[in-house]
Each structure stands twice: as C-alpha cells, then as structure tokens.
Homo-oligomer: A and B are copies of this chain.
Amino acid sequence: MYALTACRRSLRRPLLILGLALALLGGLVVMLGDRTARPASAAQSGSVGDVVFAVHGGAGNITRQNTPPELEAQYRAALETALRAGAQVVDQGGEATDAVKAAIVTMEDNPLFNSGKGAVMTTDAGHELDASIMDGRTLGTGAVTGVEHIKNPIMLADKVRTTSRHVFFAGLGAELFAIDRGFDLVTQDYFFTDRRWQSLLNAKGGKSEFNFGDLPPTTGTVGAVARDGQGDLAAGTSTGGLTNKPVGRIGDSPIIGAGTYANNRTVAVSATGTGEFFIRQVVAHDISTLMDYAHMRVDRAAQGGIDKVAALGGDGGVIALDHDGNLATPFNTTGMFRGYVTSDGGVVVKMFGDE
C-alpha cells in the first residue's frame, strides 16, 4: 500500500505538467480561432462597443401598444437628457462617479421615473427612497435606504461614499448624517404625484391596511454606468421601490453586489426589476465574477445574470458596461427604458423589446 501511494505521488508532477501544457496549448488554439473570426475593436455580439455612458429608467411591461405617442416622446426626451448630462461629464474629463450622479439627478428630478420626485408610494402612503453608487477604481461605495426627506438620494449615497468610514445608512440615521453633511431636507409632499397616488389606491383596493409583502409588486428604478477618460468605471442606482411596498422594505437598488456594482477589472452594472431575486442571486457581482473568474464576455455574463433571476421566477434587466466600453442591456420583460452614448458622441435611446 505504501509503495502504491509513493508510486502515485511520483506520477503526480509529470501528469500535472503534461496536463497544464496541453490545456495551455488548447487555450492558445482557441484564442487563435477566436481572433481570426473577430477584430478586437468591433462590438461583440449581444453588446454595443465604444460606449462611454449608459442609463436605464426601469424595466417592465413597456410596449408600443400600452405607450401613447406623447408619453413615449417624453420618456425618450428624458432618457436623452440624462444621457447627455452624464456624457458631458465624461467629455469634459470628469470622473465616472460624477457622470453617474449627473445623469441620475436628472431622472430623480423628473416625475416620469420611479426615483426622487415621482417615486412610488409605500403601503403607508409615504415615499421611502433607496440609492447606491460604486467607484470601480477604488471599490468605494455609498448607499442609503428608506430616506424620506432627501431630494436627491444618489447625492446622499455619494456623500456616504466620499466622507464616511461607513458605506450604508438607513432611515433616520441616513437623514441625521445628511443634516451633518449640510444637505437640505424636503418634506414628503415634494415627492408626491397624483399618478403614484392613484396607483397606490388601486393597489390597496379600498383597504387602508398595512401590506407586509402579501401583494404582487410593480417596479421601476433608474440607474447609470460610466467609463471615464481614465478608463475608470462607475455605477449608480436610485429608486422609490415598489407601489404599496411594506414600510422598511429594502430592494436590490441600495445593495452593493445586487443592484449596483463596479470594478475596473471587469464591469459596471446597474439593475432594475423584482429586486428580491436580484438580491438572492447577487446579480451585479455575479456578472462581474462571471467575467473575472469564468472569463465570459460582458454580453454572456449579463445575460447569465438575468437568466438566474428568471430561473427563480423574477424579472427585470441590467445595464452592464465593461472595461473596454462594451455595453450589454439584457432584460426579460417586454421593455426597458435605456440608452447609451458612444465615444463619438452618438446618443441612442430605446424603450421596447423589439428595438
């Protein structure tokens, strides 16, 4: 028995070396085959190349049939405004995190989107806002959840990132922090829109009762990803959550790794959808690790993340911008408000699944 073990041990190293050599050779041949087929600078299938900035304004049941032309024009204009705000920062040599903030602020301020002004209402007829941001260069992050009196939650999330040893604040504590850091507070009426009020009343069905997660939700979120002139990536997400959501419910938007993630090694990701499934699958970080450890391209990795959400019964989408400027925007809903800007200044806006 001892002799057998010794014999097996002595076999180990040559076998290992032979195996590694064969694997390496195989890898080189695969790379060669891959190179002959696709010039390195071209866009990858399932992704768009040369992108410097992208946004989303939520995924959901967005179809040509249920979108009046005037509303469609408003959404397209609002997405373009956000895209130009972000791209301008990049163009002028600004940082990716600043570009992300600049774009998200325009969407938070626009009542069309479920974030900041126009956010959906909780089951207690209030607004509780979540936001997060991540710097792919430093892995620095900031996030807030359940803030009720901050006009632009993404700005507060970024203030957490830049001025605290902590990275995530909730509710009252987030607002005490905001006051300490010089933020103005707004009262809840600032966020109010009749559209969201009617949605809440409709969801509650005439019963002034707390919902604790027993009713199906409707979703919406905004987010942005950027790649600046230094090649640094950043991602940010902001949301009002779900219509009639339970008080204190936290979705994926403020969770680093779930709704937001950025790492210069790989990719910047912002997600939207039924957040619970994105939390369970740690989607944004999963996309990064599929690229980092499984060597997937951004389009396959991002689709893999959405497939994992779908496998649990969830839906939504992501925008994922890799370190080479390739953007993937997979979603498993009928549509997703989205758009991007290329390095030559071209702006593309899309809403529906068939465009």
Contact = CB atoms under 8 A, between A and B. Distances in A.
B20 A167 contact: no
Given A33-B19, A257-B282, A276-B165, A247 B12 contact: no
A253 to B, nearest CB: 11
Contact of A247 (B164, B173, B279): B173
Q: Pick from A34, A140, A213 the residue with the most CB of B within 10 Å.
A: A213
Given A212-B177, A280-B141, A22 B22 contact: yes
Nearest to A7: B36
Interface stretch (A24-32, A89-97, A100-108, A109-117): A24-32
Contacts of A8: 36-37
User: How many copies of this chain does the complex contain?
Assistant: 2
Contact of A170 (B15, B21, B146): B146
Given A22-B25, A29-B15, A256-B280, A247 B289 contact: no
A161 B165 CA distance: 30
Interface in A239-257: 245-251, 255-257
Which 10 residue pairs spanning A and B have beta carbons closest together?
A173-B248, A23-B26, A22-B26, A19-B29, A15-B33, A164-B213, A173-B247, A19-B30, A293-B293, A289-B289
